[in-house]
Amino acid sequence: MNKQDKTQAIQELKERFAQAQFFYVTDASTLTVAQVNSLRRKCYEQGIEMKVVKNTLAIKALKSLEDEGYAPLYDAFEGPSSVLFTDNPSAPARLIKAFRETADRPLVKAAYIDRAIFSGDDQLDVLVALKSKDELVGDIIMLLKSPSSNLIGALKSGGQKIAGILKTLEEKASA
């Protein structure tokens, strides 16, 4: 790879990292070609972009973003590395966990989730439990909807009680 190719690769990675709110640094080094192809296919199906990167180029791209928040990730770029870019913070973790039912890799080296950094494969269960923005919005809507539903139900039942009392009073008055 000549200097021009490296500069272009760094620029492409820089743009991709700048756009990504969520990405994972993984190690899939011991997987067979068939397993890697299967992993790539599953990533594609779930809207996850898998990119094998040169560690030095990835570090240079992150450093060029002039954001101090990436510094703890530099140690993750040792040995074979691939980066999983996604719009859903837990999708790669769920994919990795499911994939590891039949293989021993990929391992999670680090994950960058909206300015928070998770280091190490032991964080996989924590990453799986993360909720997407849509899931959080749904939870909030359900919480906000619940009291209003209870209030409407109470008002409806109260209205029926009042109607019943008025009917009873009317029947007594006419009798």
- Structure-token pair, residue 111: 């994950």
Q: Between the CA of residue 80 and those of 23, 31, 48, 101, 131, what are the distances in Å?
A: 16, 11, 19, 21, 29
Question: Shortest CA distance to 23 belongs to which of 65, 137, 102?
Answer: 65
Q: Tens digits of per-residue pLDDT, 118-153? A: 988 888 888 888 776 676 677 777 777 766 666 566
The pTM for the full model equals: 0.73
Between 112 and 69, the more confident residue is: 112
Give dist(CA 112, CA 119) in Å, integer: 9
- Fold of the 3-130 domain: Alpha-Beta Plaits (3.30.70)
| Contacts of 45 by beta carbon, 8 Å cutoff, 6+ apart | none
**Cα dihedral 53/122/118/109 (nearest 10):** -10
CA 125: distance to chain centroid?
13
Give dist(CA 76, CA 119) in Å, integer: 8
Cis upstream peptide for 106 (omega within 30°): yes
For the chain, strand residue ranges (E) read 22-27, 49-53, 81-86, 107-113, 116-119
pLDDT value of residue 108: 92
- Structure-token pair, residue 104: 């021993």
Work out the pLDDT band at 84, boundaries 50, 70, 90.
very high
Work out the pLDDT band at 114, boundaries 50, 70, 90.
confident
Give the domain ranges of the chain. Answer: 3-130, 132-175
Work out the pLDDT band at 158, boundaries 50, 70, 90.
low
CA 51: distance to chain centroid?
17
Question: What mean pLDDT value characterizes the chain?
Answer: 84
